[in-house]
Chains A and B, each alone.
Chain A
């Protein structure tokens, strides 16, 4: 077997790097995490001509090798560590033809590391429209590299790029810029202290605060006695280096690129005039949000009903077909309803990821950041907090990670703390089933009442996040200096392939991640609900039958039902549930909901699966989860268990409570202390309890 060529894809954000990655690898890719940190690691295999293969790693987007975030550290750590198994044989720097000048900054840095580097000029299909012409030969000669003109959208230039990758050994590894001219004396000192190392590498090691395996900044300082400079001097030198690089780039582009400015008046400015308008910009943003939530609610109801029905039938089928016994019961009453509780939400979650992915891909999200920055700052947040808050509607975990590009620590911390209030997709299952039970399915001014309620819950989520940010901003005493820069990328029609891959990946990880927990919990619950201690559980039949006699007859079905519910009450779970009932009864819940809430502290979406499992134990009929819940009665007040009051109370409890262990874990990791996740857990859950209590007591 021939050796695979290790390729690293590097590039600025918004250059279509991921599209190039998708074109090279197709669906032959895998997404994981870098060990120990939560930065997403995307790698894939690319088939090259002549039976060769390349292992491609898609590094996080970065503007330069001067890392300022965890994601960017990954890039530089890999490029400086020759011993890493992913250390690239060849680097591919992806650039956007319209931002070539800025993109070349990163290119020159990578090339100066002595790694063979290919330049991809992406979005070549836009050149003509933008009046850009490039002298590729000239550019190749000046940059001492090979250049592939690629349009990931039109799928052109990819074969040429593959050829370059195969022939990477012929690429020049000479640097573009001699960085040592910014301070010859200092660099001379460096060279004599470490004669065996590449000078530019040393410089990066000194100026960056990251881990480099065998080459470490502190080691450098200790071993050699080489006197480095104070931080502020180094910063000034970094600025000089940037200016130097731009001088080189300007020189190169002057000879090889020309832009006809008349052609460049374009779609972007026309769209921006409306989309970032002082009034229309906001109107459009809120209209888009409204549309998304209505769509999620209305469009996904059809596939969801079908899935619900299918699982009920599957459960029935399993019961009738498999040999009778404990194992069959476990499958039919524990596993299948539990899994049904998660599969049913695939349509909605997929729709949500679809919309978020389209907003990101099209470039619209940056406009929202721009529009909202000033408003958000009033609440101690940043415009960049909008992205975590919006993606928090999918899941708080990627949302907490998305705060990494917020430069100001205080703004970032507040964003992390309030993000779990936004309505994540795990709350959807709970919301949907309760809304379906307690809110009438009627139209109000053309809007579906149930859809409006859902929208209201989302607004409550955002509102609480914003309000608590405002309070935290007043309480937290953190001084941090910062700045705010955000790129406003070009508008792009989202590529079907990118959006599709994104939706599939995210939905898959949601389903499998949650699926595992739910499966485990439903099995445990089923066991606890199917067995009980003592006489009462074991002799349930006799005890219940004893209540009836010839004079007081009862139908067989009713009797069975009563026996089943008597058994459930005296099972292990029933006894535990009864124990917590006094705590949840003032909120309008019975002990079954209490158990479901407790098990939801592992993950919220477990709620529906838990109820499904508890309710289906002992029941013979094929029923959907929703019908079973509607049939429940309140043990204390009588009447249906799920009324308007208890329903609203439950909705509000789930809106505010911190019930997600994974989020707590990620917050711990991102803030580096248990203080903040504990603060969230206690604060949010106590608040949720009080609000739910007030709601039920006022409405009942």
Chain B
């Protein structure tokens, strides 16, 4: 099974690999969520949802349901 952004814990980082859905919201891309970019989980609200991220220098929050569609590769 592929690792998705939703599985990362606070403080973990990864590289965005791909999207598992056809319609990734354009807005997310515009905010810097592009394959090859680095993403770090800064904070999560209770139940890990939503997630507060540093996406390639942009600070934003997305819901878990969206994070599930973002495949990543873990950086140690």
Q: Which A residues lie at the B interface, using CB under 8 A?
A: 63-64, 66, 68, 98-99, 101-102, 105, 232, 235, 238-239, 242-243, 246, 268-269, 272-273, 276, 278, 366, 369-371, 373-374, 383, 407, 483-490
Interface contact A485-B62, CB-CB below 8 Å: yes
Q: Given that A239-B24, A242-B29 are known contacts, is A374 also in contact with B49, CB under 8 Å in the complex?
A: yes
Residue of B nearest to A106 (CB): B30
Q: Are A102 and B52 in contact (CB under 8 A)?
A: no
Q: Within B3-59, which residues are at the interface with A (CB < 8 Å)?
A: 22-32, 34, 42-43, 45-47, 49-50, 52, 56-59
| Given A232-B22, A269-B42, A489-B59, CB of A484 within 8 Å of CB of B66 | yes
Residue of B nearest to A63 (CB): B30
Interface centre among B43, B46, B65 (most CB of A within 10 A): B43
Chain B: number of interface residues, binned into ranges:
20 to 34
With A239-B29, A242-B29 as known contacts, state yes or no: A278 contacts B45, CB within 8 Å: yes
Q: Establish whether residues B52 and A105, one from each chain, have CB atoms under 8 Å apart when the complex forms.
A: no
Q: Is the CB of A486 within 8 A of B61?
A: yes
* Contact status A485-B34, CB under 8 Å: no
Bound Cα distance from A483 to B27, whole angstroms? 10
Q: Report whether B61 and A488 are in contact in the complex, using a CB–CB cutoff of 8 Å.
A: yes
- The interface of chain B, by Cβ under 8 A from chain A, is 22-32, 34, 42-43, 45-47, 49-50, 52, 56-63, 65-66
Interchain nearest-CB distance for A522 vs B (Å): 48
B61 contacts A235, C-beta separation under 8 Å: no
Bound state CA distance, A489 and B47, in angstroms? 23
- The answer on a CB contact under 8 Å between B27 and A485 is yes
How many angstroms between the C-alpha atoms of A538 and B65 in the bound complex?
A: 74
Once the chains bind, are A483 and B57 in contact (CB under 8 Å)?
no
Q: Is the CB of A371 within 8 A of B22?
A: no
Given contacts A487-B58, A487-B59, whether A373 and B45 have CB atoms under 8 Å apart is: yes
Chain B at the A interface: SS class? mixed
A-B contact pairs, 29 of them (CB 8 A): A63-B31, A64-B30, A68-B27, A99-B58, A101-B32, A102-B57, A235-B26, A238-B26, A239-B26, A242-B34, A269-B42, A272-B52, A366-B61, A370-B43, A370-B45, A483-B25, A483-B62, A483-B65, A484-B50, A484-B62, A485-B61, A485-B62, A485-B66, A486-B60, A486-B61, A487-B59, A488-B52, A489-B59, A490-B59
Complex: A276 Cα to B61 Cα, angstroms = 12
What distance in Å separates the Cβ of A343 from its nearest Cβ neighbour in chain B?
A: 42
Cβ of B69 to closest chain A Cβ, rounded Å = 9
Report the Cα distance A232→B65, complex, angstroms.
21
Q: State in angstroms the CA–CA spacing of A239 and B57 once bound together.
A: 20
Interface pair A276/B63, CB less than 8 Å apart: no
With A269-B42, A272-B43, A374-B50 in contact, do A483 and B58 touch (Cβ < 8 Å)? no
CB distance from B14 to the nearest CB of A (A): 17
**Chain B residues within an 8 Å CB radius of A105:** 30
Contact (Cβ within 8 A) A485 B31: yes
| Cβ-defined contact, A102 with B47, below 8 A | no
Contacts of A484 in B (CB 8 A): 50, 61-63, 66
Beyond A64-B26, A483-B27, A489-B59, 19 additional contacts (C-beta under 8 Å) are A64-B27, A64-B30, A68-B27, A102-B57, A232-B22, A232-B23, A238-B26, A272-B52, A373-B61, A374-B47, A383-B50, A483-B25, A483-B62, A483-B66, A485-B27, A486-B60, A486-B61, A487-B31, A488-B60
What 4 pairs across the A-B complex have the smallest Cβ distances?
A: A488-B59, A483-B25, A484-B63, A242-B29
Contacts of A486 in B (CB 8 A): 60-61
Bound-state CA distance A371–B61 (Å) is 10
User: Considering the chains assembled together, what is the distance between the CA atoms of A268 and B59 in angstroms?
Assistant: 11
Cβ-defined contact, B45 with A242, below 8 A: no
**Chain A, residue nearest B27 (CB):** A485
- Docked Cα-Cα span, A238 to B29, in Å, equals 10
Nearest chain A residue, comparing its CB with the CB of B62: A485
C-alpha spacing A485/B58, complex, angstroms:
12
For residue B18, give the distance in angstroms from its CB to the closest CB of chain A.
13
Question: In whole angstroms, how far apart are the Cα atoms of A486 and B31 in the complex?
Answer: 10
Q: Once the chains are docked, how many angstroms separate the CA of A242 from the CA of B47?
A: 32
Q: Are A276 and B30 also in contact (CB < 8 A) when A99-B57, A235-B23, A484-B62 are?
A: no
Decide if B58 touches A102 in the complex (CB within 8 Å): yes
Residues of A within 8 A of B29 (CB): 239, 242-243
| Contact (Cβ within 8 A) B60 A374 | no
Which residue of chain A has its CB nearest to the CB of B47?
A: A374
- Which residues of the partner chain A approach B50 to less than 8 Å between Cβ atoms? 370, 373-374, 383, 484
Contacts of A366 in B (CB 8 A): 61
Complex contacts, A276 vs chain B, CB 8 Å: 43, 45, 52
